Structures are given as structure tokens and as C-alpha cells.
Amino acid sequence: MKHLKNNLELIVGSVCCGKSEELLRRITRYEIAGLNILLVKPQIDTRSSTVKSRNGSERSCIEIANPEDIYEEINNYVNKNSRSIDIIAFDEGQFYKDLYRVVKDLLLKKYKVIVSALDSDFNGEPFGDITKLVTLSDSVDKLTAACMSCKSDNAIFSQKLKKGGNQIEVGDLE
């Protein structure tokens, strides 16, 4: 593994604020620097088999059901490519149960970790382990969106347009 600052970078914000776009931008920069990255997203996100941003950026990824599955994917990558992983990048981190525990372990194992996620749900309540991850992070970038109703460019909350439902419902602008 290359010499890296062992840290966690969090990219958080509301729906449509550019979290995935920022994650993909950082991955590209790290690859230019010669680092090996494993990009993962949760299997529950069935919108696409890639990590995609609204601006058209897209990248293939590994889909995992649980954060613990990352260990098997690291081993598969190393065996297939005969090189180590430097960075683990999680998109849609709010969907993973026990992400905190796994990220903490990855940091102890000297991986750099990047997580992009919603930090709160449509009720403004903390979503998943994301607020706990702040305690492990060296950097937290909170992005804002443009509100489609009031046209503010500083929207920090996600709005659910459909009435009722559960906290976790895979969707997008609908």
C-alpha cells in the first residue's frame, strides 16, 4: 500500500446536491495520482448498476448488500489484479447498517475511506450511521442543493414528494 494519510473523507448533503459527482471527481484525482480505488454502492440502490451523477459522470462499481462484504471484495480485487487497494469509496452510505463499525476497522487497517451519503432523511432526522462517522472523519464536506420550489441555492434538507412511506425508499426526483 502506498503511503497515504489514513483518514475518512465524508461528503454529505441533501438529495440533488452533487454528492456522487464529488465522489467521482475525487476518485478520478486519486487515480491520476496512481492510487487503487475500490468503489462500492449498496445493492438496495437498484436505479443503476453504476455510480452515476446528474451531470452525466458515471463509473462502474461493486454492489454489496452489507458493509462487511467489503472485505471479500478487497480480497477479490487483490487476487484478480495482483495489487493492493489504497482507497475504499462508498456511495449512498446512508443505506448501510453498521457502516460505522466497518469504516472504523478499515481505518485501523490503514485504508483511506471516502463516504458520500445523505446526512438526514426527509424528516430532517439523522440517516443511518452517517452522523456517527463524523466522529472518525478528518474532513466533512456538506454540500447544498438548489430548491426546486423556492429556488434557493442553499437547500440543506431532502424533500419527499410522495406522501407517507418509509425512511428508505429508493428513488430520485420522483
Active centre residues (catalytic): 92
Handedness of CA 43, 48, 51, 54 (dihedral sign): negative
Alpha-carbon gap, residue 118 to 157, rounded angstroms? 9
Alpha-carbon gap, residue 146 to 13, rounded angstroms? 12
Handedness of CA 34, 93, 170, 63 (dihedral sign): positive
